[in-house]
Amino acid sequence: MAAPRTPSEIARETLKQLAARRLSPTPENYRALYDEIADTPSAPPFPAAPLRAITRVLPAQTPAQRRLLDQLENAIAEQSWALLQSTLVGYANLGLQGAAVATPAVREEVADGRTLPPRLTEMLARLVENALTAAGEDDARLLGMGQELVDRLRGPDPETAATERLLADLSHRLSFAAQDQAAVRASLLALLRLVFENIALLSTDDAWVQGQVEALLSASTPPLNLRRLDELEHRLKDVVFKQGEAKARLDQAQAQMRALLTTFIERLAELDASSSNYQGQLEQCAERISRATQLYDITPVLEEAVNAARAMALASRVTHGELQDQREHAEARHAEIDQLRQELDRASAQARHDPLTGSLNRKGLDEALAREMARSSRQETPLCVALLDLDNFKALNDRLGHATGDEALVHLAEVARQVLRPQDQLARYGGEEFVILLPDTEVEDGVRVMQRLQRELTKRYFLKDDERVLITFSAGVAQVREESDGPDALRRADQAMYLAKRSGKNRVVPA
């Protein structure tokens, strides 16, 4: 049975088929061929981000409104179209129910089906505007239909029948726009990953490029969200800066190495030329000695030969000393180049991430916490921090070794990434301690998130040499009260974690 093809192989085959079939390289053609080759149709994306923006402006004053708002948030979290449809119908019915307590004239108009309640029309108008924003600006017809519906909803006495007809037409058109947007994003993402992979293939010996390509490939793996892209931007900026700084030093060291080698070769050439001159002088002395008939004639020749020998010996010693200095300098430069290469490797591998678990390190945590606190203050949404510490980690290291302890930390990080929401962020705080940022989360919900992670760890055993090793942790959860409360929230979460330890471990305690 043939091995399944990788996404990069499918992307390459798709590009080949586009050329072979002489099709225009449009996103629609690319997506159709990609799905045909992969034999797996692409699913349209769920507009979670625009819908979350809508939840922030929806009212939640009555029990019915709060119930529907919770239902809408559940539909977004589960990415359920059916639950979303049910919620919207509930909002529509809620508006009609509210009309029942209106004035007699309004009740009569609603009963006759001629107009809609003002509150419902405004909610529908906001919903349409947010949906059009998410759909983009490429479809002029869709924008026109949406604007017509918004104008009618906000106009005087919108008729129910006409509004319903416009809403149905817009919904039908919007479904096609959503599919097109999904196809465009999937095609662009596939082309982008193909570019990254080809860069990596062409630069197998370039550690700097390899480090950046790995980060880009990781960040371009669905599901995508603005937090991951923002984190990638900061990470790449840091990597590029460090690599540029080290690259400049490496280029300087290499230039110095070339200069040393040039000087070394010049000294060798000078030594060879001097030896040739001295050899010529000695040969002339030998010839004159062979022709001499008296000792008087030999004496000045011997003095000349001795002086030439002394000069040659002195020149050899000087040149030998210079060559020795050049060799020492060359060895020092070679060691510096090796050190710079190691620094570049470290800069590529870890900028704001822990190299063992792939989670944020302390620097990455500080930046992510600052961003989330600013966002929480700006949007007036809750933010929680959870600090967890593995139970009996020292005993695990002593019994199975430190390498196994590292594997246990990696296992915990992998399970956490699978269980947590996309907007939650995991950071290694030190040793066996981790911090989890929980945006849009109250303390009670944060406790439930950590308890769910505990349950998943009991289901997903960590295996070591076919031995099932149960990993548990104790955690504290604290809510960030204001924009400058980050360090204090971590301190309170740390105190709650120690209280969980003293209470018997494998517990979650709110601060």
* Phi-psi region at 437: left, alpha or beta (left = phi > 0; alpha = psi -120 to 50): beta
Cα(397)–Cα(406) distance, integer angstroms = 9
Q: Are 369 and 375 in contact, with CB atoms under 8 Å apart?
A: no
Q: What is the dihedral of CA 58, 63, 64, 66, to 10 degrees?
A: 30
**How far apart are the two ends of the chain, measured CA to CA in Å?**
56
In 3D space, the residue among 8, 67, 72 whose CA is nearest the CA of residue 34 turns out to be 8
Pull the structure tokens for residue 425.
């962020």
Pull the structure tokens for residue 308.
């030439």
Angle between helices 295-349 and 226-291 (to 10 degrees): 170
The burial class, CB within 10 Å (0-12 / 13-18 / 19+), for 97 is exposed
Q: Which of 164, 233, 432, 433 is catalytic?
A: 432
In 3D space, the residue among 488, 469, 472 whose CA is nearest the CA of residue 480 turns out to be 488
In 3D space, the residue among 196, 218, 222, 288 whose CA is nearest the CA of residue 42 turns out to be 222
One-character DSSP codes across 140-159: HHHHHHHHHHHHHHHSSS--
Pull the structure tokens for residue 38.
């992969």
List the alpha helices (DSSP H) in 443-509: 443-459, 486-502
The burial class, CB within 10 Å (0-12 / 13-18 / 19+), for 503 is exposed
Pull the structure tokens for residue 328.
């020492």
Q: Are 306 and 168 in contact, with CB atoms under 8 Å apart?
A: no
Cα(412)–Cα(432) distance, integer angstroms = 10
304 alpha-carbon distance from chain centroid:
78
Q: Are 253 and 336 in contact, with CB atoms under 8 Å apart?
A: yes
Total number of residues shown for the chain:
511
DSSP state for residue 127 in the 8-state scheme? H
Cα(379)–Cα(423) distance, integer angstroms = 15
Cα(408)–Cα(425) distance, integer angstroms = 19
Cα(93)–Cα(64) distance, integer angstroms = 11
Q: Look up 231 and say whether it is catalytic.
A: no
**Active site amino acids:** 432
